[in-house]
Structure 1
Amino acid sequence: MAWLDSHAHFDPDRHHAAVIGLASTLGQHDSGLHKHQRGQLLFTRRGCARITLAQQLCLLPPSRAAWIPPLIPHRAVMQQSVDYRSIYLAASLCKDLPPQVCIIDVSPLLRAVLEPITDAAFDSDWTQGRNVHLLGLCLDEIRTATQQPMLLPMPEDKRLAPLLAIPDRLPPTLVVLEQHIGASGRTIGRIFQRETGMGYQQWRQQWRLMRAIELLATGHSLSHSAFELGFASDSAFIAFFRHMTGRTPKAYLD
């Protein structure tokens, strides 16, 4: 186990044990695009992280975890202070785990076993004793965890590049987008359906949800978040959030 400061970089592939655990509190941090030979479970105890994948944006909200399979290029950007736990699993341990990046709920049991795993020395033996039971519980909890819809596929069409240029900016309405790229709403809808699996309005709503969680989790007020995301009132924002998640913003973050 190691604690890192906000300027540290850690390479789990330099170590030989089947499991490597890491505990860290980072401020503003950008990992840069990279990949591991190992699978990674990244659990944010406080704060949130934005993970960029090939043609996908992924948000890791507080108290959830991101599962990143081996050899998947990714970039993690953390805003403000993020308190997290990370475990890196040898590829041989990942065969029964999800084959794609996903955001999962963290059960009380998974949360509990992550602490002794990240406390363990880097040269620990995970084939016997207490460690083998901790690892077995951890793998089973990852495998059976409920997944959260926190991945947003991005279109590849070059006419839509402005959508990718500033990921913090609210995507335009369909009418504005039609005028901007000179294509009909029907054409735009076909592009999004083909390249993201969603219509434009559905895609834009998913973007708003992910950005709403990011704003709230980094300390912005509900009123500020509602204004930034184009809602006419706080109540309209809360109704949208409840429709998308089944919970109010406060209940979701708690």
Structure 2
Amino acid sequence: MAWLEAQASFDPDVYPAEVIGIAACLGNHDSGLHEHERGQLLFTRQGCTRITLAGQLCLLPPSRAAWIPPRVSHRAVMQHSVDYRSVYLTAQLSASLPRKVCVIEVSPLLQAVLEPIAMAPFDTDWQQGKFMHLLQLCLGEIREASLQPMLLPLPWDHRLAPLLTTLEDLPPQLDVLATRVGASSKTIGRIFQRETGMGYQQWRQQWRLMRAIELLATGRNISYSAFELGFTSDSAFIAFFKAMTGTTPGVYFR
């Protein structure tokens, strides 16, 4: 019944079961801004999903999952072909999980558990038998999963609106941005520190990392990605990626 997820009328909150699972493969898809009474674990097996939140941009690369607590407004945009699993948990089950949106690393065990949960009928009884054990394993793995740096806080100062309207373009150097928005470099630095908790250069580097992962996950090669992100060479791009993630692009996606 995974095809229901692609339809605007699908609403996991109308089902009484504690857990509602979805398995689907979609092309370019935009969910629009919405929220659920349930918490949602969204796992991207292949492709890349960009999730827009209030004041944050979240990127979901392959083999990672986003945890979205109940009643959090979000918009998911899937680029190219995305193979994903989505698990919706009641507010009661969600209470033991993180209170804020986060991106987690999906362990082999969690990935194995998500498959039968996503394929389970919507009227499954999660209080007994193998499904009870699968659910408990799933909750435990989510709680213990390593967090991934795939959230980018966004400033809300009106002077920076032009920067945020083109988030797919490389953010300019600080002095160039200052000229564009008519504010000093120091003022922009203070705005970013106050509203995002980062200096502008740190914010720009985090953007570059997320965009690099997005480009590579949607089929662009290293040379293309390095050029798009303003690196002088493939080796400079790989060095940046390794400094930010602790591993090379090839190992990261493997």
Give the TM-score normalised by the residue count of structure 2: 0.98
Conservation of the 8 A alpha-carbon contact between 2:188 and 2:200: yes
Q: Secondary structure at the match of 2:80?
A: coil
Task: Tell me if 1:48 matches 2:48.
Answer: yes
Counterpart of 2:80 in structure 1 is 80
Note the C-alpha offset of 1:44.
Answer: 0.6
Alpha-carbon RMSD across the aligned residues, in angstroms, is 1.0
Contact 1:33 1:73 in 2 (8 A): yes
- 1:162 maps to which residue? 162
- Segments of structure 1 that go 5 or more residues without pairing to the other structure are none
Measured in 2, the distance between the counterparts of 1:114 and 1:65 equals 11
Matched, 1:244 2:244: yes
- Aligned structure 1 segments of 4 or more residues deviating by more than 3 angstroms: none
Give the partner amino acid of 1:141.
E
- 8 Å CA contact 1:48–1:60 kept in 2: the answer is yes
Q: Which whole-Å CA distance do the structure 1 matches of 2:127 and 2:50 have between them?
A: 34
State whether residues 5 and 26 of structure 1, in contact with CA within 8 Å, keep that contact through their aligned partners in structure 2. no
The amino acid across from 2:48 in the alignment is C
Shift of 1:132: 0.8
Are the equivalent residues in 1 in contact too, given 2:30–2:78 (CA < 8 A)? yes
Quick one: which amino acid aligns to residue 3 of structure 2?
A: L
User: What SS does structure 2 have at the residue aligned with 1:124?
Assistant: coil
Distance 1:99 1:164 in 2: 26
Shift of 1:7: 4.7
Counterpart in the other structure of 1:140: 140
Query: Given that residues 21 and 117 in structure 2 are in contact (C-alpha distance below 8 angstroms), is that contact kept between their aligned partners in structure 1?
Result: yes
What's the counterpart of residue 58 of structure 1?
Answer: 58
Distance 2:164 2:14 in 1: 34
Structure 2 Cα separation of the partners of residues 186 and 130 of structure 1: 58
Secondary structure in structure 2 of the residue aligned to 1:48? strand
Percent of pairs identical after alignment?
70
Aligned to 1:101: 101
- What is the match of residue 230 of structure 1? 230
Partner of 1:19: 19
How far the C-alpha of 1:167 sits from its partner, in A, is 1.4
What amino acid maps onto 2:28 in structure 1?
Q
Q: How many residues align?
A: 253
- Which AA in structure 2 matches 1:83? D
Q: Secondary structure at the match of 1:147?
A: coil
Cα distance, 1:8 vs structure 2? 2.4
Amino acid at match of 2:129: G
Task: Report if aligned partners of 2:104, 2:146 keep a CA contact under 8 Å in 1.
Answer: yes
**Corresponding residue number in structure 2 for 1:91:** 91
The residue identity in structure 1 corresponding to 2:212 is A
How far 1:182 moved relative to its partner? 2.0
**1:116-161 deviation per Cα after TM superposition (whole angstroms, max 9, x unaligned):** 1111110111111111111000000001100001000000011100
Residue type of the partner of 1:134? L
Verify the 8 A CA contact 1:30 1:78 in the aligned structure 2: yes
Q: Secondary structure at the match of 2:226?
A: helix
Amino acid at match of 1:67: W
Q: Which amino acid aligns with 1:97?
A: L
Structure 1 residue 5 displacement after superposition: 7.4
The answer for the alignment partner of 2:7 in structure 1 is 8
CA contact (8 A) 2:5 2:22 kept: no
CA distance in 2, matches of 1:184, 1:239: 31
Distance in 1 between residues matched to 2:28 and 2:5, nearest whole Å: 7
Secondary structure, aligned partner of 1:52 = strand
Residue identity matched to 1:121: P
Tell me if structure 2 keeps the 8 A contact 1:193–1:199. Answer: yes
Name the CA distance, whole Å, in 1 between partners of 2:119 and 2:150.
29
Note the C-alpha offset of 1:198: 0.1
Match of 2:220 in 1: 220
Q: Taking structure 1 as the reference length, what is the TM-score of the superposition? A: 0.98
Equivalent-residue separation in structure 2 for 1:250 and 1:5 (angstroms): 34
The letter of the residue matching 2:173 is: T
Give secondary structure in 2 for the equivalent of 1:162: helix
